[in-house]
Amino acid sequence: MKIDAHQHYWNYSVEDYGWIGDNMSVLKQDFLPVNLAPVLVDAGFDGTVAVQARQIYDETKWLLKLSDQSSIIKAVVGWVELCSENVRDQLRECSSHPRLRGVRHVLHDEPDDAFGLREDFVRGLAMLEEFNLAYDLLVFPKHLPLCCKIVEKFPNQVFVLDHIAKPLIKEGAMEPWEAGIRRLAQHPNVSCKVSGMVTEADWSGWKPEDFKPYLDVVFDCFGVDRLMIGSDWPVCTVSAPYANVMDIVCNYIGQLSPEQQAAVLGENARRIYQIPD
């Protein structure tokens, strides 16, 4: 099974998606499974991990309902109020659905760069292992030292780094991103999504070779057993069509063995998110 490990759905409204600026007008419309299914199949993928795009609990319930209606959604990474006293009740409710396989909070949007070490956030994060849920880390390069501190607190928790931590690909900057990646990857309970790269590049002028230095680093650090391909659709469409985005990684791993390619293209996502056959 080939799995796109990171994509989103939404019913667009200005109120819910204020982060979509005028330079991203292509995103100001609804994106649902019926829209993704044809391009997913054309690219040779069997399913996806649908990831939260709004930080409200109803988002999780909506995505799980979508997964009941569409067979292409193999797993959901939702959102719960990790800082709330009621987080256990939310986790108990939504984790009863078999396709909830992870939780995410948009750490890089928090005004406090150390938000991930807040006592209430850490208390909520500590409950995820009990419910057998992964935690997706969405951060900028400057947050990678914070990620290390979070991961060190929970050596048995499954963590997944989204979008290779959004390096400044357009500027060709490697530091402090590379140093942070190398340190974080030393923790065996952290995996990484090779996703979200085209939106960090020059939207209208990127070339496949722009991504090679960054791919070299994550493959060297995480190895083929802790990496999974993701599109970040529909966000990626501000810079490239779905197939072009997926081809960046597919072409890069073309020299690997069939088993290694299968790992990156789906088997790792199945194992890490515990997606059934």
Looking up residue 167, the CATH number of its domain turns out to be 3.20.20.140
Helices (H), ranges, the chain: 33-42, 57-69, 87-94, 119-125, 144-153, 177-184, 212-222, 242-252, 258-262, 268-272
> Closest Cα partner for 51 from 94, 88, 114, 106?
106
**pLDDT tens, position by position, 21-52:** 999 999 999 999 999 999 999 999 999 999 99
For residue 255 the two structure tokens come to 């020299």
pLDDT at residue number 139: 98
Q: Is 226 helix (H, G, I), strand (E, B) or coil?
A: helix
pLDDT at residue number 243: 97
On the question of a cis peptide bond just before residue 234, with omega within 30 degrees of 0, the verdict is: yes
Name the domain count of the chain.
1
Owning domain of residue 144: 3-272
State residue 36 phi and psi, 5-degree precision. Answer: -80, -35
> Which residues of the chain register pLDDT less than 70?
none
pLDDT at residue number 164: 98
Q: Is 277 within a domain?
A: no
**pTM, 2 dp:** 0.97
pLDDT at residue number 276: 85
8 Å CB contact between 93 and 64 = no
Q: Which residues contact 121 (CB under 8 A, 6 or more apart)?
A: 82, 83, 105, 115
CA 161/CA 75 separation, integer angstroms: 16
**pLDDT tens, position by position, 246-271:** 999 999 999 999 999 999 999 999 99
Beta partners for 51? Answer: 77
